[in-house]
Amino acid sequence: MFTLRNGCVFPWLVLALFATAAAQTPGAPEKRIAVTVDAARTAAPISPYMYGQFIEHIGDLVNRSIWAEMIDDRKFYYTVDSKSEAPPASRGRRPNPWRPIGPDNGVSMDSEHAYTGKHSPLITLDGAAPSGIAQAGIVLRNGRAYTGRVVLAGDAGANVTVSLVWGSGPNDRQAIPIRGLRSDYAKFPLKFTAGAETDGGRIEIAGTGKGAFHVGAVSLMRADNIRGFRPDTILLLREQRSGVWRFPGGNFLSAHEWRDAIGDIDKRPPRWDPVWNALQPNDVGTDEFLFMTELLGVDPYINASAGFGDAHSAADLVEYVNGSIDTSMGKLRAANGHPEPYGVKWWGIGNEMWGDFQFGYMALKQYVFKHNLFGEAMRKVDPSVFLTATGRAAGSMDQIGSDNDFTGGLLTHCLPYIDAVSEHYYAYEGGQNRSAPVELPLIDAVYRAANLVRAKVEAYDEYYRRIPGLKTKRVPMAIDEWAYSRLPVNMKQTLGNALVFHEMFRHTDMIVMAAHTMGTSSIDFNANEATLNATGLLFKLYRDHMGTLPVGVGGNSPPPPHNAGASGRLPKVHAGSPTYPLDVSAALSADGKLLTIAIVNPTESAQDLDLTIQGAQLRGTGRMWRLTGPNLTAMTSLVRKEVQVTEAPVNVMPRTLRVAPISIEMYEFEKAP
């Protein structure tokens, strides 16, 4: 029986939410699990940044998920002919190539009069037979409006038409004649309405008459785009209120030149990204990302390249973003359409510079000098910036202080230019070795990622003990890349992600932010539609309903020793609350009026949990949200709706909770006046 402090007693009421059977189900622990939530014992607040996201240009990940552009190679990096193979696949999708209309010799690549990049197509005309270029494979929806532009230059005798085609018939197209062609490149607006639904639409740029014309760039987007961004995916991502988004990398950052991605979007040169072996149009750069964070209602977190980049370039980037209009970079930003400084606080120096896979990699003893050069130059431009260092905590205590201990080396030699250390981890289903996966019991598998959080916490505890400078300047970590990977976005992965949340909530004094990889992994989308998936449902559930002030959680069932087959860095103390196999986290709302209790059941059996509340008087009623699916492989996508969040009232304060199998349950109770 559960007794509130005011003396009122509430008998156990049999509800659909709580099971009537007292016997333990198969797979349950031998003793009943008991939890004590102490609302009077609080910790540092859970920052909104804990729900942050990370994204980088990996192939067309950004260009097709949040960006609305429908044309591939729209600035003509590749040669246009009928013989070349299509461009290499990017993130599983092979980009659509440009092909000639008419004979191949009617199209040549002109490097002397290129609009941007190394060359532009030159189409030579020969009377009434159309000559030009076309791109197929464009996904169109019946009745939807599309807008765009084409950059052309040509002779007065060239009659150029741009057409959107949705079928094989002569009327299955809309043609826009181009007027006023001249020898200098000029932009011409396009506006179409698709007359049918097809995944094989086509855009054609063709001419008749005499002379020739150049095509400098082409763009086509849904007409409802928001300054180039997809409204459907942006709306879903905004609903999650992620707190912060980190960009532009990631490994991509190490070979990226930020100046290639500012200014006139059509004049930005297309570049080959050697990191991910893919073409980048440079359409989504600094200004676009910062506008995106405005759309999402989050704070931006920018990384400066410490790979091929240098301290001077990093300082220029800070000045471009935060400098006044009186500075040289501030003037450039104003000329590009944003007179006011952006005022970005969070800045990262490099990305995973400990890895020899990074372009510009160097040994730790050299890199610490490079970090300090960056920090000094960036702070000289804006002393208020919050700087993160690209660390990697030691994998074991005996590695601390070694040549591979990037976190320890940076904290020892670069402390004046570090406000937090960037830590990354990826917990892989089956372990690191793809060819020899390690199969673990469900509970051990889904705790993989949470245990990596705990391992980093233990390493930082050791840094605080060993490094003298940390006695007076306690530097926290920013886990600005993390994921439970090599799984589809299913119920099993969702359980693992929820356990990560709980482990981070237990260490809010040490973890100031997190950024999940990738920001768009919370949505399922195709060329025209999008929906939240199981990851998105989880992030939204916690962001909407989890409290912000963690409170004490005790129990009678501590986690067991590690499974010997578990892969990755194992902490000395297993992750989780002392309510094994359940994991419980609890927090008060910012105003202290609500108490939330979140419970993860990573087993395939219902589990009973005896509940005791201390340190607060609660009302006897509340609400409960449950996120679950019919099995571990359940998913939610554009075609499957198996993982769902359901809500129900709690009509009486329970003394025992029966937690559904493979579920995340969240209970909210109001404190009594």
pLDDT digits (tens, 9 = 90+) for 67-110: 999 999 999 999 999 988 878 887 778 899 999 999 999 999 99
Q: Residue with structure tokens 């980049």?
A: 309
**Residue 568: inside a domain:** no
Are residues 516 and 400 part of one domain? yes
Across 188-211, average pLDDT: 97
Among residues 200, 222, 244, the one where a domain terminates is 222
Sign, CA torsion 38/39/42/48: positive
DSSP code for 25: P
Across 550-566, average pLDDT: 85
**Residue 569: inside a domain:** no
pLDDT digits (tens, 9 = 90+) for 330-343: 999 999 999 999 99
Are residues 343 and 201 part of one domain? no
DSSP code for 469: G
Domain count, the chain: 3
pLDDT of residue 498: 98
Are residues 176 and 56 part of one domain? no
Range(s) of the domain holding residue 263: 49-61+226-547
User: What gap in Å lies between CA 306 and CA 361, rounded to an integer?
Assistant: 9
pLDDT of residue 525: 96
> 3-state SS string over 402-417?
CCCCHHHHHHHHCHHH
Across 433-448, average pLDDT: 87
Are residues 239 and 132 part of one domain? no
**Residue 564: inside a domain:** no
Residue 181 has pLDDT above 80, yes or no: yes
pLDDT digits (tens, 9 = 90+) for 276-321: 999 999 999 999 999 999 999 999 999 999 999 999 999 999 999 9
Question: Which of these, 230, 229, 141, lies nearest to 193 by C-alpha position?
Answer: 141
Q: What is the CATH number of the domain that holds 472?
A: 3.20.20.80
pLDDT category at 566 given cuts 50, 70, 90 is low
pLDDT of residue 625: 98
3-class secondary-structure state, position 1: coil
Residue 7 has pLDDT above 60, yes or no: no
Are residues 101 and 19 part of one domain? no
Residue 638 has pLDDT above 90, yes or no: yes
Rounded alpha-carbon distances, angstroms, from residue 151 to 19, 114, 126, 244, 285: 67, 11, 22, 36, 21
pLDDT of residue 4: 30
Across 145-149, average pLDDT: 98
Question: Which of these, 75, 334, 335, 337, lies nearest to 185 by C-alpha position?
Answer: 75
Cis peptide upstream of residue 581 (ω within 30 degrees of 0): yes
Residue 14 has pLDDT above 60, yes or no: no
Are residues 578 and 486 part of one domain? no
pLDDT category at 30 given cuts 50, 70, 90 is low
pLDDT of residue 354: 95
Could you tell me which residues come within 8 angstroms of residue 335 by beta carbon, excluding any fewer than 6 positions away?
none
pLDDT of residue 28: 46
Are residues 115 and 29 part of one domain? no
Beta strands per DSSP E along 457-536 = 477-485, 511-517, 523-525, 530-532
Across 652-656, average pLDDT: 88
Are residues 407 and 381 part of one domain? yes
pLDDT of residue 564: 57
Are residues 362 and 469 part of one domain? yes
Are residues 612 and 660 part of one domain? yes
Among residues 222, 250, 271, the one where a domain terminates is 222
Are residues 489 and 360 part of one domain? yes
pLDDT category at 645 given cuts 50, 70, 90 is very high
Across 12-16, average pLDDT: 32
pLDDT of residue 572: 87
pLDDT of residue 20: 33
User: What gap in Å lies between CA 296 and CA 244, rounded to an integer?
Assistant: 9
pLDDT of residue 389: 98
pLDDT of residue 24: 38
Residue 324 has pLDDT above 80, yes or no: yes
Q: What average pLDDT does the chain have?
A: 92
Buried b (16+ CB within 10 A) or exposed e, 424-434: bbbbbbbbeee
pLDDT of residue 85: 84
Residue 565 has pLDDT above 80, yes or no: no
Residue 5 has pLDDT above 60, yes or no: no
